[in-house]
Amino acid sequence: MEVLRDLSACPRPGEGTAVTIGAYDGVHMGHQAVIGEVRRRADERGLATAVVTFDRHPASVVRPESAPRLLTDLDQKLELLAATGIDYCLVVTFDETRRQESAEDFVREVLVDCLAARLVVVGEDFHFGRERAGNVNLLRRMGGELGFEVDPLELVDREGRPAGEGERVSSTRIRSALVEGRLDEANALLGRPHEVRGVVARGDKRGRELGFPTANVSVPGDILLPADGIYAGWFERSDGSVHAAAISLGRRPTFYVQAHASLLEAHLLDFDEDLYDEHAKVRFVAWLRGEERFESVEALIEQIGRDCDEARRVLSSN
């Protein structure tokens, strides 16, 4: 996949492109079904394929006070899009200027002048441009003038089939599942374990004192963490090696009456090396239990041991 980050470097492929547009946060099963359909229709017409997405979630500019936390950062989103087999990904800078751009100007500048669109595939409820004035009807009207077709798609379920209201795969539904502790549902809709990325920071070394040293992963504030609790998962180091881990996400109520933010700690099973300042990827595979306050440190240590055993058991079959 060729990543385009500047409209001045547009390819304008001679055969034209089949294009889809969206935030694509999470690149979940619904997104993958749309892209699969784009590729199928492009193959029928002899077109290249392209995804138009944004360098940040548009809501962070349009309504920053209520913008959602993200399922993927930009790097991960691009990795996931590349895995779909798409030819081009155009990353559009979404700033105040872009927010004020009319839908018509976006179509001409991005779809036609940059990507030579011959087919545009979007969801039936797709909106874009200033005040969300752009929709499928506008695309059809402009397509008739500028030489591209428009194929609206129904929203789909996790199998890629047309879905009812409660079955639709959406980033919003996945976010709700994660924060409400329904990890299995979220991972099924994503088509993979939910992953967060960050740098291993120095902590208070309490885990080492307890006999279970942890990597404290500092995750950017705009990335969505799942519900507080204990999880089994995978920890990927900067060198690409992957390690089984028991993961604690929470406020450590045994030691602190009130902590201001949840802390992500990963205890790598059967591992004891320095991880400070490494960039890490943490994948949440299974929920083990909720966070608890223990009456003694000894009781906590015993429970952590059981958590590690359960994480080993769960991960041995994943």
Residue entry with tokens 């797709």: 126
* β-strand partners of 279: 199
Q: Are 300 and 210 in contact (CB under 8 A)?
A: yes
Question: Per-residue DSSP letters for 75-132?
Answer: HHHHHHHHTTT-SEEEEE--SHHHHTS-HHHHIIIIIIIIT-EEEEEEETT--BSGGG
Distance CA(230)–CA(221), nearest Å, equals: 20
- Catalytic residue among 145, 185, 265, 295, which? 265
Distance CA(254)–CA(278), nearest Å, equals: 28
Distance CA(232)–CA(308), nearest Å, equals: 8
Question: CB burial class (10 A; 0-12, 13-18, 19+) of residue 85?
Answer: exposed
Dihedral sign for Cα 28, 29, 33, 39, please. Answer: positive
Distant-in-sequence, close-in-space partners of 162: CB < 8 Å, separation ≥ 6: 154, 155, 156
265 noted as active-site residue: yes
Catalytic residues, which ones? 265
